[in-house]
Amino acid sequence: MLSLPAELTHVQANACLAQLAAGVKAEGAVVALNAEPLQRFDSSALAVLLEFQRRCASVGKTVSVQGLPRQLLALATLYGIEGLIHSA
């Protein structure tokens, strides 16, 4: 299982995405992503999640996000993209 960091803002977005992408090969067809550690974030966290899902899809894998913070789901709803976040 891959995990998001405690902080994911614009500053950490590229490094976080690179780290997640590097771990995809070791995962099965469904990549479990633990979002529980996430405590401080901005809309960049949504961008990371969406791009990570795209990258996984490009190699035939899907993402299941677990423990998505309510505030991040509310932000996704505000932007109208909650249906794009595959939450378990």
Domain spans of the chain, in order of start? 2-84
pLDDT score, position 86: 77
List Cβ neighbours of 20 (8 Å cut-off, separation of 6 or more). Answer: 2, 4, 33, 48, 52
Q: How confident is the model over 37-47, as a mean pLDDT?
A: 97
Q: Which fold has domain 2-84?
A: Transcription Regulator spoIIAA (3.30.750)
Q: How confident is the model over 23-52, as a mean pLDDT?
A: 96
Is the pLDDT confidence value at 88 over 70? Answer: no
Could you tell me where the beta strands, DSSP code E, fall in the chain? 2-3, 7-8, 30-34, 40-41, 62-66
In whole angstroms, what is the distance from residue 14 CA to residue 70 CA? Answer: 23
pLDDT tens for 46-78 read 999 999 999 999 999 999 999 999 999 999 999
Q: How confident is the model over 8-26, as a mean pLDDT?
A: 96
